[in-house]
Structure 1
Amino acid sequence: MLAVLYDVHGNLPALDAVLADADAAGAARWLLGGDYALFGAWPLETVERLRALRGATWIRGNGERWTNAPAEAPPPVRPAARWCAKQLGSALVAQLAALPEQAVLDGDLRCCHASPLSDMAGLTPSPSPGEPALLTELREPRLVVGHTHVQFHRGASARGAGTGGGAGAGGAGALELLNPGSVGMPFDGDPRAAYALLGDDGAIELRRVAYDHRASAAAVRERLGGEIGDLVARRIEQSRIDPR
């Protein structure tokens, strides 16, 4: 069984809760989909915990890119990227930034952070008009993405259906799409840590695990600080991208 973990964002208590749940469910392999450390109160501890996993496939997200080069991040994010880089140390920052952008597992499952063409342009629970362009180079029938922090599973359907065009190899074939949600900072109104399990028979199970998300938010305010720390803390508390 494969456990799929995306967007941990340095939230160690959320990660520990997910690892315990996945272990109890019988996970033997791990897919780690990027954005491991940035914005959380425990960046180094989180990465160290993930590095202890056996049978893990790693890819990078925009968070690893920004931590390695804070000037590439949006201005409000740069202080957090610099703080995260300091906690990780230059060698580990460089190692994470050098991770591959994508991976293919079992010959038919492509994994990327946001979409096959971008680590920033994400996919949504329902097909959008711009979706076919993001899937142009996709050849595999199954795709795992993250980045949006919204958990969903779309069963196999015609590529490009309802979007005004085809995708992949001439638009042929069907596509199954999974976003396991965010371990450390969900944006769907549910504060529980999100991840997914893929069975050896191909079955997908979306999972949620409760943890003390308010304590994680308080730790972000204390350790990261500033306006960005308060914003991240409110996102953890409210499970929204635009908290008030």
Structure 2
Amino acid sequence: MLAVLYDLHGNLPALDAVIDDAAAAGVEGYVLGGDYAGFGAWPRQTVARLERLPNATWIAGNHERWLSGDEHDVPPNPVARPAVRAMRRDLDAETTARLTALPSTARIGDTLFCHASPHSDMRSFGPGVEPEDRERLGDVGGATRVVFGHTHVQFRRTGPAGVELVNPGSVGLPFDGDDRAAYARIAGDGTLTLHRVAYDTQLTIAALEDHGEPWAAIVAGWVRAARPV
């Protein structure tokens, strides 16, 4: 059984809760879908914890690309740019090199894993059918399921040509009004289930508020509301 973890965002208490839940379910391996450190109070610790997971397949998200110095599409808001620069300061050169070298997709059986969509780490799918779905999906090489994140909203639905679209939600920063950490599990027969795990959100909020930078205080509000506010 695989656990599928996306959008960790440096939230170590949420990650620990999900790992414990996955272990109790008998998970033997992991797929890690990107955005590991940015926007979080524990960037180094979160990456270090992920590196101890057994049988883990990693892909990059937009935060890993931004970590490399490619900032052309970082949103010009009070959180993104200062948080990305804080992430660069917090991660050592060796960790940065590993994260920026990650592939953008991974294929396991009939499932394609990507960060936002198969050909972009920024343009993703929504819970409802959209005119852009077919273009965003593109050629998936015969995959019958595409797993992605980026929007921090947990859902599953059928996409173009019958391809199943699955967003396991965000471990560290849910944006669907439910403050529990979100992830998915895939059983040996391919059955995918979505899960939520309660954790100590107040610990994360306090750590962000104590961080001392304005962007972190804003993210603390996002954790509290489980959506951008």
Same-fold status (TM-score > 0.5): yes
User: Do structure 1's residue 219 and structure 2's residue 207 form an aligned pair?
Assistant: yes
- Correspondence 1:148-187 to 2 at 5 A: 148-154=151-157, 157=158, 159-160=159-160, 173-187=161-175
Please identify the structure whose Cα radius of gyration is greater.
1
Q: CA RMSD in A?
A: 1.3
Measured in 2, the distance between the counterparts of 1:178 and 1:71 equals 27
Q: 1:138 aligns with which of 137, 140, 159?
A: 140
Report the alpha carbon displacement of residue 67 of structure 1 after superposing the two structures with TM: 2.1
- SS of structure 2 residue aligned to 1:84: helix
Residues 1:125 and 2:139 are matched in the alignment: no
TM-score (norm: length of structure 2): 0.94
1:206 — aligned with what? 194
Query: Which of the residues 204, 218, 235 maps onto 2:222?
Result: 235
CA distance in structure 1 between the aligned counterparts of 2:70 and 2:156, rounded to whole angstroms:
33
Q: How many residues align?
A: 225
1:74-127 CA distances to partner (integer Å, 9 max, x unpaired)? 343222112111211122112101100001012x11000000121001111121
Q: Is the 8 A contact 1:70 1:78 kept in 2?
A: no
For 2:34 and 2:82, locate their aligned partners in 1 and report how far apart those are by CA, in whole Å. Answer: 20
Return the letter of the residue paired with 1:193.
A
Provide Cα deviations, 1:196-215, integer angstroms capped at 9, x if missing partner.
Answer: 11111121111111011122
Q: Distance in 2 between matches of 1:185 and 1:62?
A: 15
Task: Name the counterpart of 2:75.
Answer: 74
Query: 1:114 maps to what in 2?
Result: 116
Whole-angstrom CA distance in 2 between matches of 1:147 and 1:186: 10
Tell me, in whole angstroms, the C-alpha distance in 1 between the residues paired with 2:189 and 2:105: 23
Query: Which stretches in structure 1 are left out of the alignment for 5+ residues?
Result: 161-172
Q: Tell me the distance in 1 between the aligned counterparts of 2:191 and 2:144.
A: 14
Per the TM alignment, residue 28 of structure 1 is displaced from its structure 2 partner at its CA by 0.5
CA distance, structure 1, for counterparts of residue 200 and residue 70 of structure 2: 30
| Over 4 Å off, 4+ runs | none
| Alpha-carbon distance between aligned partners in 1 of 2:173 and 2:32, rounded to the nearest angstrom | 15
Any unmatched runs of 5+ in structure 2? Answer: none
Residue identity in the other structure for 1:39: F
The range that moved more, 38-47 or 68-77, is 68-77
Offset, 1:70: 6.4
Q: Which residue of 2 aligns with 1:3?
A: 3
Q: Distance in 1 between matches of 2:209 and 2:71?
A: 23
Q: State the distance in 1 between where 2:88 and 2:138 align.
A: 34
2:181 and 2:30 map into 1 onto residues whose CA distance is 16
How far, CA to CA, are the matches of 1:136 and 1:71 in structure 2? 25
TM-score (normalizing by structure 1): 0.88
